[in-house]
Amino acid sequence: MSSTTDLPRYQPDRPGQEPGDECYLDLTPDAPSQETRMIFCWCPPEGAELGFWLGKHLVTQAQWQALMGSNPSRFKESGQHPVDSVSWDMAQEFAQASRGLFPDGRTQLGLPQEAQWERACRAGSLGDFAVGAGHSLNSQLANFDGNYPEGQSSSAFKWSFRKKTLPVGSFPPNAWGLHDMHGQLWEWCADWYDGEKSGARVLRGGSWIYYGWNAAAGSRYGRVPELGIISSYGLRVSPSPI
């Protein structure tokens, strides 16, 4: 993971200046550690939409353990692997546990809105993918079932199907510094999938076990919020008002 030596600490009233600006938050402020520090990237305003900070990486197992005291993951290879097997409901518990980190009493580490997630994923690009050339995806660029690359170019070749997660930051970031917006784990968003009556919450980004087209910036998936046993579900968080 990136070093936080030269990064500013997160402050609720301080926005970024340029796309991809970074800051950090200690999840264990009494015993600061690189493993439990969370880095945020600045996603700039667009039209009437405000800018926001979003996790540079998926929440890791070390970070989850620091706040929750447990680790639900299937792939427990290191603290820097993303936490997997997380339900939407569990993500809300993580958000609530984070409130003590913010002295203003008005902030927590919450899930992004779906529109925010997609804007962050695209990072100003118009293509389906915000890594590589932007028009195709292979498993040199992201963690998914590489037997099913996506795109109609010579770079959309079959490669590796790793059959598991990898440490965060293992693949190239997009233009705003965000890693693994394509593949690795499906990421929960705050929204309902198709209105409250659907009973499902939105997941975006694809995962290690899904195909390349599932990882496209516009691809959507919905599951019931209590379902967390699936090892392809994780989360990326934003400092958000309660």
Is residue 2's pLDDT more than 50?
Answer: no
Do 34 and 47 contact (CB within 8 A), yes or no? Answer: no
Average pLDDT over residues 115-123: 97
pLDDT at position 4 is: 55
Residues 6+ apart with CB under 8 A from 25: 9, 10, 37, 38, 40, 101, 239
Mean pLDDT across 56-62:
98
Q: Rounded mean pLDDT of 69-73?
A: 97
Confidence class of residue 204 from pLDDT cuts 50, 70 and 90? very high
Residues 91-117: tens digit of each pLDDT? 999 999 999 999 888 999 999 999 999
Amino acid at 235: L
Backbone angles phi, psi at 232, to 5 degrees: -105, 15
Closest C-alpha to 135, from 120, 150, 145: 150
| Domain around 21 | 1-242
Residue 41, judged by CB atoms within 10 A of its CB (0-12, 13-18, 19+), counts as: buried
CA distances from 101 to 23, 29, 56 (A): 15, 8, 18
- What was the pLDDT predicted at 133? 86
Q: What CATH number did the domain enclosing 27 receive?
A: 3.90.1580.10
Question: Which has the minimum average pLDDT: 4-13, 134-143, 190-199, 214-223?
Answer: 4-13
Is the pLDDT score of 228 beyond 80? no
pLDDT score for 230: 83
CA distance 24 to 53: 10
Q: What is the pTM of this model?
A: 0.94
Residue 1 pLDDT > 50, yes or no?
Answer: no
Amino acid letter, residue 228: G
Query: CA 50: distance to chain centroid?
Result: 19
Query: How large is the angle between the packed helices 61-68 and 88-97, nearest 10 degrees?
Result: 60
In the predicted structure, residue 3 carries a pLDDT above the cut 60: no
- Inform me whether the pLDDT recorded for 49 exceeds 60: yes
Q: State the total domains in the chain.
A: 1
Taking the C-alpha atoms of residue 60 and residue 54, their distance in angstroms, rounded to an integer, is: 14
CB 114 within 8 A of CB 202: yes
Q: Which residues, listed in sequence order, are joined to residue 171 by a DSSP beta bridge?
A: none
pLDDT at 137: 93
